[in-house]
């Protein structure tokens, strides 16, 4: 199975719609029939080659049987991060001698997961990024500044680099850190765009201004942002996105990806969610009970990868909460789009029946400049229900800030957490309690359900 070679032949008679990726112009029924065929291949491959899936799917309908279809696929059990950590090498669907790259997840949301790729998987990543970058408007001959890690077992930087090369664009592999050098390089090389973590982009603007350089004079046209959300649930830029756009005068593109799913998605110039790549993965949104949610409703993103050789995943629960948009995109592509990541499934808090993620509260807080720092805590009340408390450190003289924040969160997120005003020093102590090197902006003190 190799979708990179077999799919274009299958689609040879399909209209291209002017896009360089023919699958981006398929009609709804064409897309469904393509993905059904790919799902069948993906499940058959995983079941045949990966010891984990052979056992995991042994009691379910064989995808080679004629009756197999979407209902049989949806009956398959999901796979989680715990499975990948616990039974890591059982996922391998190739002989270990064919492994070409060993990578790891960052471990920010749990134990790091080790992940294996063959040479062809690396090629597939390059093809994925080619499609993603083309969607964002990257063109041959342009130069892009990569402010993300290319080493340390991270896979994304390598994928971005290879995708740019495949398009015929140039890359500046500066990596993270050392913001002053970034600013000098941006001024010298004047790339068309940057691939960056949004909060680092704010730091670059601060350093640039300190040097007397207006960031918007550096000539960047677009930023492709990874790792943090720059949009609200309605696709409008959040406080972080708005600040970046104001500092740099650039077009914002949000990009989503995860090491395990070997796939990333990037927004087109209209910024209405990352366009899915139909030949590289299948996305579902599931509710808490594992049932599919209608298009547009928020739930956990669950992914099946296509064309991955070493560690293919079927119905993999990413832990990220988002939604899928299927309405027309002004760019003309017909592919569904993944909305902004609203939070992590495990961080979901139920307040009087409403669901809320810490990130939604953070988006509101970040819009209030008087807030110096903050920490959000979820805990269990005496009635065993979830509660949400926000510790706010504010500049001296900002009386009434708690009332302002309460109103803002109530209006935007439709919940009312408790707010506790503290000195910025007291909040800082909470953020770095226990010698934590990273600020803990969200603390989950809830009692596990018994
Ligand atoms: Zn679009």
Across 107-131, average pLDDT: 90
Ligand 1 mean position to 252 CA, how many Å? Answer: 13
Q: Is the pLDDT of residue 58 over 50?
A: yes
Task: Give the pLDDT confidence score for residue 364 in this predicted structure.
Answer: 87
Q: Which residue has the higher pLDDT, 189 or 415?
A: 189
Q: Which residue has the higher pLDDT, 360 or 99?
A: 99
Ligand 1 mean position to 315 CA, how many Å? Answer: 25
Ligand 1 mean position to 43 CA, how many Å? Answer: 29
Task: Give the pLDDT confidence score for residue 15 in this predicted structure.
Answer: 36
**Structural domains of the chain, ranges and CATH numbers in brackets:** 1-347 (3.40.50.12780), 349-445 (3.30.300.30)
What interhelical angle do 156-167 and 119-136 show, nearest 10? 70
Ligand 1 mean position to 294 CA, how many Å? Answer: 21
Q: Model confidence over 374-413: pLDDT tens digits? A: 999 999 998 889 999 999 999 888 888 899 999 988 888 8
Across 154-168, average pLDDT: 96
Ligand 1 mean position to 25 CA, how many Å? Answer: 11
What interhelical angle do 198-210 and 179-189 show, nearest 10? 80
Q: Identify the band that residue 12 occupies on the pLDDT scale cut at 50, 70 and 90.
A: very low
Min mean pLDDT across 252-256, 276-280, 442-446 is at 442-446
Q: Is the pLDDT of residue 359 over 60?
A: yes
201-215 in b/e form (b: 16+ CB < 10 A) is: bbebbebbeeeebeb
Ligand 1 mean position to 22 CA, how many Å? Answer: 14
Ligand 1 mean position to 24 CA, how many Å? Answer: 10
Ligand 1 mean position to 197 CA, how many Å? Answer: 22
Ligand 1 mean position to 316 CA, how many Å? Answer: 26
Task: Give the pLDDT confidence score for residue 353 in this predicted structure.
Answer: 80
| Percentage of the chain lying above the pLDDT 90 cut | 74
Across 238-253, average pLDDT: 95
Q: Model confidence over 413-449: pLDDT tens digits? A: 888 899 999 999 999 999 988 877 778 899 999 987 6
Ligand 1 mean position to 254 CA, how many Å? Answer: 12
Task: Give the pLDDT confidence score for residue 3 in this predicted structure.
Answer: 43
Ligand 1 mean position to 165 CA, how many Å? Answer: 23
Ligand 1 mean position to 112 CA, how many Å? Answer: 33
Ligand 1 mean position to 325 CA, how many Å? Answer: 11
- Running DSSP on this structure, what letter comes out for residue 2? -
CA distance 386 to 447: 9
Ligand 1 mean position to 269 CA, how many Å? Answer: 7
Task: Give the pLDDT confidence score for residue 398 in this predicted structure.
Answer: 80
Q: Is the pLDDT of residue 109 over 80?
A: no
Q: Is the pLDDT of residue 14 over 80?
A: no
Q: Is the pLDDT of residue 363 over 90?
A: no
Ligand 1 mean position to 335 CA, how many Å? Answer: 8
Ligand 1 mean position to 291 CA, how many Å? Answer: 28
Task: Give the pLDDT confidence score for residue 18 in this predicted structure.
Answer: 54
Task: Give the pLDDT confidence score for residue 160 in this predicted structure.
Answer: 98
Measured CA distances, 242 to 130, 135, 224, 237, 404 (Å): 27, 22, 14, 6, 20
DSSP string, 277-327: -TTTEEEEEE-TTSPBPPTT--EEEEEEESS-SSS--SSEEEEEEE-EE-S
Q: Is the pLDDT of residue 215 over 80?
A: yes
Ligand 1 mean position to 268 CA, how many Å? Answer: 5
Q: Identify the band that residue 8 occupies on the pLDDT scale cut at 50, 70 and 90.
A: very low
State phi, psi for 443 to the nearest 5 degrees: -120, 130
Quote the distance between the C-alpha of residue 249 and its chain's center: 24
Ligand 1 mean position to 313 CA, how many Å? Answer: 27
Measured CA distances, 114 to 25, 260, 318 (Å): 36, 9, 15
Q: By 3-state DSSP, what share of the chain in percent is helix, strand and coil, each rounded to 5? A: 35, 25, 40
Q: Is the pLDDT of residue 241 over 90?
A: yes
Min mean pLDDT across 10-14, 15-19, 36-40, 282-286 is at 10-14
Which of 111, 102, 104, 136 has the alpha carbon at shortest distance from 226?
Answer: 136
Q: Sheet of 193-196: strands edge to edge?
A: 170-173, 143-146, 193-196, 222-225, 251-258, 263-266
Q: Is the pLDDT of residue 11 over 60?
A: no
State the average pLDDT for the chain: 91
Q: Is the pLDDT of residue 161 over 50?
A: yes
CA distance 349 to 351: 6
Q: Model confidence over 293-335: pLDDT tens digits? A: 998 999 999 999 999 999 999 999 999 999 999 999 999 999 9
Ligand 1 mean position to 194 CA, how many Å? Answer: 20
Ligand 1 mean position to 391 CA, how many Å? Answer: 39
Which of 354, 295, 353, 303 has the alpha carbon at shortest distance from 324?
Answer: 295
Give Cβ neighbours of residue 320 (< 8 Å, ≥ 6 apart).
256, 258, 300, 301, 341, 343, 344, 345
- Running DSSP on this structure, what letter comes out for residue 267? B
Ligand 1 mean position to 17 CA, how many Å? Answer: 13
Ligand 1 mean position to 336 CA, how many Å? Answer: 9
Residue with tokens 């395990």: 260
């Amino acid at each position: 199975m190799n979708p990179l070679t077999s799919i274009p032949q299958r689609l040879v008679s399909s209209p291209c719609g002017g896009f360089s990726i023919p699958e981006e112009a398929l009609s709804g029924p064409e897309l469904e029939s393509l993905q059904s065929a790919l799902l069948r291949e993906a499940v058959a491959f995983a079941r045949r080659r990966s010891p984990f899936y052979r056992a995991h799917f042994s009691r379910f309908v064989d995808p080679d049987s004629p009756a197999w279809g979407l209902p049989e696929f949806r009956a398959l059990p999901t796979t989680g991060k715990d499975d990948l950590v616990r039974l890591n090498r059982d996922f391998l669907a190739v002989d270990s001698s064919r492994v070409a790259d060993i990578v790891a997840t960052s471990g920010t949301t749990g134990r790091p997961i080790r992940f294996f790729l063959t040479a062809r998987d690396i090629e597939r990543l390059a093809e994925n990024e080619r499609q993603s970058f083309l969607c964002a408007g990257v063109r041959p001959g342009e130069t892009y500044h990569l402010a993300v890690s290319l080493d340390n077992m991270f896979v994304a930087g390598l994928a971005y680099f290879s995708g740019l090369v495949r398009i015929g664009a140039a890359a500046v592999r500066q990596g993270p850190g050392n913001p002053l050098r970034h600013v000098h390089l941006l001024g010298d090389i004047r790339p068309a765009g940057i691939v960056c973590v949004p909060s680092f982009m704010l730091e670059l603007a601060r350093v640039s201004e300190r040097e007397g350089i207006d960031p918007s004079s550096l000539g960047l046209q677009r930023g492709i942002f990874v790792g943090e959300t720059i949009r609200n649930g309605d696709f409008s830029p959040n406080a972080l996105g708005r600040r970046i756009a104001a500092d740099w005068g650039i077009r914002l593109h949000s990009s989503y990806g995860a090491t395990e799913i070997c796939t990333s998605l990037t927004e087109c110039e209209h910024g209405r969610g990352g366009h899915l790549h139909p030949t590289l993965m299948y996305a579902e949104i599931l509710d808490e009970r594992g049932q599919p949610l209608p298009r547009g409703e928020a739930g956990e993103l669950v992914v099946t990868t296509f064309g991955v050789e070493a560690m293919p995943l079927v119905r993999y629960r990413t832990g990220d909460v988002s939604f899928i948009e299927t309405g027309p995109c002004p760019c003309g592509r017909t592919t569904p789009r993944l909305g902004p990541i609203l939070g992590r499934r495990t961080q979901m808090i139920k307040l009087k029946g409403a669901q809320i993620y810490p990130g939604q509260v953070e988006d509101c807080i970040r819009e209030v400049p008087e807030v110096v720092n903050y920490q959000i805590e979820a805990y269990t009340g005496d009635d065993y229900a979830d509660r949400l408390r926000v510790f706010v450190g504010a500049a001296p003289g900002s009386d009434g800030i708690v009332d302002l924040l309460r109103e803002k969160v109530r209006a935007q997120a439709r919940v009312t957490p408790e707010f506790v005003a503290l000195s910025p020093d007291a909040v800082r102590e909470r953020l770095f309690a226990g010698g934590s090197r990273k600020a803990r902006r969200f603390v989950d003190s809830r009692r596990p359900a018994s």
